[in-house]
Structures are given as C-alpha cells and as structure tokens.
Amino acid sequence: MTKVAIIGSGPCGLSILRAFQQAEEKGHIIPEIVCYEKQKDWGGLWNYSWRTGSDQYGDPVPNSMYRYLWSNGPKECLEFADYSFDEHFNQPIPSFPPREVLYDYILGRAKKANIKKYIKFNTTVTQAKYNGSQFEISTLNKIDNTLNTNNFDYLVVASGHFSVPYIPEYDGMKSFPGRILHGHDFRDAEEFRNKDVVVLGSSYSAEDISLQCYKYGAKSVTIGYRNNPMGFKWPDGMKEVYYLDRLEGNKAIFKDGHEQNADAIILCSGYLHHFPYLEDTLKLKTGNRLYPPKLYKGVVWQDNHKMMYLGMQDQFHTFNMFDCQAWFARDVIMDKIKMPSDEEIEKNISKWVSEEEILEDPIQMIDFQTEYTKDLHASSDYPKINFELIREHFKNWEHHKEEDIMTYRNNSFSSPVTGTIAPIHHTPWAEAMDDSMDTFMKSK
C-alpha cells in the first residue's frame, strides 16, 4: 500500500488529513498515512504557548502567537467550505474573532473528521532523504528519546514558515540598556505599558504588535520601516519613520534623522523558510512571497513529484487556500490528477512567478492569489465556496484599514459558504481588552 508522511499538524497538515478522510468517507481506498508533530498537541501556530526560547526538551519553541491576538482579516475569508462557522458555533459570530475562537473552529473540523489517530505527537522529524524510490524519514520521540527511520512513497511538508524568526542586527544593539526581542517571542503587550517602544518592520506583525502595544498603554510606539511605510493613519502616540540607522545608549536613531528614546525594540522583521531536516535537493529556498518558485500549482516540488509543500506562500487567503492545496496534493498522490510534462510544469511555474513579480499593490496581490486559489479549486472536489465574494471582502477589508486602522475590525462580512451576515461585536476592538472565547461569544 502507498505510504504518505505528513510533517506538521497545523492548519495545513490538518487540511490534508481531512482531505484524505473525506475521500475515505466517499468510499475511496486511501493510502497509509502518518503525520509527525513535534508539539504535544495539534493546531500549529494557533496552539498558543506561553513559552519562548526552548521547550522542556531543549528544542526551539515554534509558537509565534501572543495574548490578545485577534484575527487581522475577516473570518469569512478563511472559512472552510466543508465546515462552516454556522455549523461549528450554531450561531452567527462577528467577523474578527480572537485566536482562541479560531483555534476552536480549526479543531472542530478535525475532531468531527476523527483524524487525530493519524498524528504522532512529540515526534520531531530529524532527517528526510530521497533514496531514488522512497523517502527515508528519521524521527525522534521527544518523550522517550527513541529514534526511528521509516520509508514512505510520498512526503508532504506542512511544517509552516512563521516559526523561525529572521533577526537582523543593528549597531548599538550590544550596549542597548532595554529589551530587544523578535515578534516571535512577543507574548503580552501589558509588558510594555508606559514604555517607549520601537517596532521594526512594515508588515502584519509590525502593524499588529504596534497596535497591541498602543492599545495596552505603551507611552509611545515608533515604527521603523525599511522600504515602504504601511502608511495608515496612526492614532496620537504612534508614528512611522524611515529605517533604523543605529542605537546609541537607549536612543534609536533613524536614517531620516528622527531620534527616539526607547525602552524596548521589537523586531518584526519576518521569518525564515527553514527546513533543517530536509536534504538540500528537496529544500524549498525562498523569501516570503505569493508564488515561491519550483512549486507546481504552488504545491508539487518541481524536482520530485512525490513531494508536496503546503502553505508556503505569503498569504491573503489562508485556510481554504490550504484546503485547495491539500485536496490537490491528495489527488496527485491518489493518481486522480496526472502531472503534465516537465516543459508544461516549467511553463506554468514561470507564468505565475513572472506575474507575481510585477504586482504593484495589495489589490493586485489579492486578485493574483484569488486567481491562483480558484485555479486550484477547479481541479478537485473541494466543496463549493464563493471565492469571488472572498475577493471582494479582502478588497473592502483593505479599504477599511486605510480608512481607520483602529476600527477596521469592527466591520461585518458575509459568509462565502452559507451567506450568513456576521453580527457586529458587542465591544469595539480598541476597547475589547478580554480576548477569551467566553466573553467573545456573549451577545452583550
């Protein structure tokens, strides 16, 4: 029987486990599947941990999420086509839930599909090699320290790319008297109450961690961008300045001449696609972009069609795009989708990569990733979902952010699966200090 190894049980790993389970439910014979997960539980990044640095076994902590993290995009844009929010919660809920609520939703589908049985927890993949016909996967059980090597016909890498921080260095860091941390280790904005905070970066982490610090009472928040500013209308007490030059004592000096006293520097400088367990010929080498090269349909490794990557793109679309990828990967593995010739594959990848390279703004990027997701969706039996509505939602969401970065999360969107219109949350995001599921679910 065909054997498939899946690495990681975050949203992408769970998507492909669900894809196989759905095929089985429909009467197909599915391959033998093993999913390796180095954490003790499933959900990947959504599985919050207070830990930073190393875990109790000495391994790097993969978690990057923090307390009070609320979805930064409408939940309707990430809804599963086969498991709606209405089905999970039995009542309509607002469009921007906190982490715990989305985590509950992700796990709801996984529990319903009964896929936990495929996952080997506390098991780190230490090496993956291709021997010409099979993948040799070596693992370490972190609890009892046992080493194992097993052979598989297919390998699905779903180990994520927002877990290993990219940490730049600036002059003066060694002697800076305050705290320097990467967003990966940020856990609680309360720590920065009454502090002068400098945040470096201009993407989602910089935006959200800055807003968190402001919301929970930082004295000032100064964001240093490197290339393009985010350009939102920041509230009083927040500002965006050009590129950090150096630190002198506790002073941050920027290349535009701006100077700012700082108690803490938070590096929101992104993450590395880091696969230390993969041999070089199997390793995806890319920055965070919408169409990493060498992946046919954004999924199948160009140099070895028995290897798939899930969720390696920079993302507007998330869970339902991962699902479309997972359903596609499943059908390649189950031989329902035939791979085209090497020339066709090369042509297809080049087309998407070159189209991505000329995108100029978020609206064009949304269109690009929507077209990609729709293209994948058309190739499998992933259930019906309205990607045109999702496209429109993303564009409105961008406009809401431009209008007011403090209020964009108070808007309501409609479901691309059920049509349900989300109620407005009882407390505007800027005033909602309690992010627990209990408080969120109360109607008042």
Interacting residues with ligand NA7 (CB under 6 A): 162, 168, 183, 200-206, 226-227, 268-271, 288, 315
Residue closer to ligand NA7 by CB (options 120, 274) is: 274
Residue closer to ligand NA7 by CB (options 45, 333) is: 45
CA 397 – CA 290 distance, rounded (Å): 19
Using only C-alpha atoms, the chain has a radius of gyration, in whole angstroms, of 22
Residue closer to ligand NA7 by CB (options 198, 376) is: 198
Report, in this order, helix, strand and coil percent for the chain, each rounded to 5: 30, 20, 50
CA 241 – CA 224 distance, rounded (Å): 5
Query: If you ran DSSP here, which 8-state letter would residue 174 be given?
Result: T
How near is the Cβ of 311 to ligand NA7 at its closest, in Å? 10
Residue closer to ligand NA7 by CB (options 90, 227) is: 227
Q: Hey, what amino acid is at 288?
A: N
Residue closer to ligand NA7 by CB (options 227, 341) is: 227
Residue closer to ligand NA7 by CB (options 252, 307) is: 252
Residue closer to ligand NA7 by CB (options 226, 374) is: 226
What backbone torsions phi and psi does residue 27 show, to the nearest 5 degrees? 100, 5
> What is the three-class DSSP state of 45?
helix
How near is the Cβ of 241 to ligand NA7 at its closest, in Å? 12
CA 95 – CA 410 distance, rounded (Å): 8
Give a three-class secondary structure readout of 67-78: CCCECCCCHHHH
What residues contact 62, with CB distance under 8 A and at least 6 apart?
38, 39, 44, 45, 160, 163, 164
CA 164 – CA 269 distance, rounded (Å): 11
How near is the Cβ of 434 to ligand NA7 at its closest, in Å? 22
Residue closer to ligand NA7 by CB (options 20, 368) is: 368
Residue closer to ligand NA7 by CB (options 337, 353) is: 353
- Which tokens in the block code for residue 375? 């293209």
How near is the Cβ of 387 to ligand NA7 at its closest, in Å? 19
How near is the Cβ of 84 to ligand NA7 at its closest, in Å? 22
How near is the Cβ of 443 to ligand NA7 at its closest, in Å? 29
CA 135 – CA 78 distance, rounded (Å): 32
How near is the Cβ of 174 to ligand NA7 at its closest, in Å? 17
> What is the three-class DSSP state of 166?
coil
How near is the Cβ of 27 to ligand NA7 at its closest, in Å? 37
CA 269 – CA 162 distance, rounded (Å): 11
How near is the Cβ of 227 to ligand NA7 at its closest, in Å? 4
DSSP assignment string, 261-290? E-SEEEE---B----TTB-GGG-----S-S
The residue behind tokens 């060498």 is 294
